[in-house]
Structure 1
Amino acid sequence: MTQTDLIARRERLLGPAYRLFYDEPAHFVRGEGVWLYDAAGEAYLDVYNNVASLGHCHPRVVAVITQQVNTLNTHTRYLHETILDCAETLLATLPDHIDRVMFTCSGSEANDLAVRIAEAYTGRTGIIVTELAYHGVTHAVSQMSPSLGEGVVRGPHIFTVPSPLSFAPEDRAAGFAQAMDEVIARMTRAGFPPALFICDTLFSSDGVISDPAGFLKPAVERVQAAGGLFVADEVQAGFGRTGEAMWGFQRHGLNPDLVSMGKPMGNGHPVAGVAMRAELIEQFGKKSRYFNTFGGNPVSSAAALAVLNVIADEGLITNAREVGAYLKDGLHMLSDHSDHVGEVRGTGLFFGVDIVTDGKPDGDRARQIVNYLRQHKVLISATGPHGNVLKIRPPLVFRPEHVDRLLAVLSAAVSNS
């Protein structure tokens, strides 16, 4: 079957809401480490997929999934040691005050559950998100995901705060805190005092905003002082991605009330969760029961436990820091030599690179660059309010030789765009 036939079949069967990457969609049949392979056996360098955070088909994760699925797979209503081992190991990576965890199948479900818990604890419904946030696709969290587009209506209880990128780095902490004060006052007047503020701590949909470390703390403290909870959405920034700590909120010196996690947690196996302070789930549990048929099942727990062990055993946080620094230097060098490459933002193995023309965001040029890379077998994407921010987010096992390959093709892409 030709690629044209596959695309037509997909459109007929799956409908128009699904989107494909790239002007020339890719058809992959196998993955290994940082590489994806198409039907012709051609290798593509994956510099985008944080789902397979340890690299595609990591042998240790594959082995434990295979062993467990060959032994038993039920759910969390039965006792099972692996579920508890996973919970215990995961909680040990979090601050001491975060001492309970509940498992789900996706980050969307984790954020949905976090909202329910926060509303039950505070007795409020007001939610604060950034102006281009993405937190998932359930009915509740799609309303608080402006990046999904105008077709997804934001609820009257959901208020947006300007992206931190609206403020210069030297003014970011004070400016974002003041903006938070203003939105809290506005939503309180409207009858929706804040139940929670939720953010991806690398602001990946807002254009990737990492610096200065700590800028987020004053704004979060404003929310907590106003009686709201802070939900650290670590689906993008967690599991060592920043190269500085296990969790993105840690580089800001924050004390979250809840921590949601997803994509990288099972290295491709669908497992996610939300961790929290004990008193939050105590309040929720008095009035509600929670059960998720597949969330936290023994196979999922085995996968998640293996991911945690691999991150520790293979020193992947250190690798993200060291290889990320090498990549950052290369991106800055590219920016210094091209008028079309603007600000470079990011930390560890997650970067946003502005593509500009005459100093202004150029989403069309960014798209050309992304598609040039795809044609030359390197995979990235774009994000940000103008679609002009190259989104670079490779697996945590990325090495300097992979950086060299990326930079060579990216330099050619910029020159030819």
Structure 2
Amino acid sequence: MENPLGCCLLTGNIGRNLKKSNMEHFDYIIAGGGCAGRSLATRLLPFLKARNKRVLVVDKSTKKENDKTWCFWEDRTDIFEPVVQRKWNRLSFSGLSYDKELSIQPYFYKMIRSGDFYQYTNDLLTNSPQVSIKQGEVQNLYSEDKKAIVTIDGVLYSADYVFSSIPQAQEKDSQRYQYLLQHFNGWVIETTADTFDPSCATLMDFNTSQHAGTSFFYVLPLSPRRALIEYTLFSEEVLPTASYTAALEKYIREQINCDHYTILEKEQGVIPMSDHPIKREDGRIIYLGTAGGFTKGSTGYTFRFIQKHTSAIVEKLYRSGHPRVPPISSFRFPIYDGVLLHLLNSKRLSGVEIFTTMFKKNHPVKILKFLDNETSIFEELLIFNTLQKKEFAMALWKRTLKLMKADSL
């Protein structure tokens, strides 16, 4: 989800040979002012004030546009509750001969629009004397002795620690790992008559062609006449723009039963789905968001994992003065993600088969807890017992062989 600067960092000695005298120093530098960077900066505010620390937040854009939507579920309120535009405790799921309205209490499924998030965090950060915000391009960053160095538009800055959400350069290793893309295109539409139930959101509706890969719609009703309708696919390649448009038009016409509507907004995006390990730290550099591996490999969900990670960082700073935290999830969950991706890549099972079985045979609250990497081993075994055991066991075995074979080369 996070790609705040739209590029990867340059490597090598760029920036290392620049003049270091009179280099401005901050306690912390946050490289990338998207969801992950702003989440951390906002959570840091009380700590910065209490400990008289300074942070520099840098991004090459001003981040004002309403260009994406973040959805997540939680059973409590967190610091970004003021910008939750809508929330639902009822969800609908439609799969293979299975249509169900789900009660997810005590969870709420929540929606945040990026424009609201940027405005809210802008107000908080710009009013803090401990925060400096700079518009510029991060060209390089590296650790040196007991500090980190960042090159911004040719100028060097130093910090005790740098938190970066800028994607790391990483070569694909298809002999070991799986790679898919979650790509989506969505419209906010307004209808001429009452069409939507604002009390219930559609989590997954598989009533669309599965030819291009695992494909589904979700619908977030904003009012009886307004909703965000998103077309989402898991596949190796993105589609031509016309294909998304055709699918959205068909779904609105046939599933929403609506012929008269106005498109108010559009959004699109691509989220990597992979079990390729990602380096979380590099000396005094701590990676955030997708750059740090906090996009769940099997679903693409990122927002809640960002909040867990950034919250843990601030808590560790209070306790010990440094931001290095242990993994926020058990090692088991990347294995589960890898097995699911292997199944989807091999096409032994389709996404609609997997998710229909999962939601049909398990309580939705337990599934949401599992997808948040918060279940116990016992709870996971109960879930696995309801799934296609032969196919999942085969996928686990083949993925393990694939890793062993690649390691022996």
Measured against the shorter chain, the TM-score band is: under 0.3
More strand by share: 2
Query: Rg bigger for which structure?
Result: 2
TM-score, normalisation: structure 2 = 0.26
Q: Which has the higher contact order (CA 8 A, sep 6+)?
A: 1
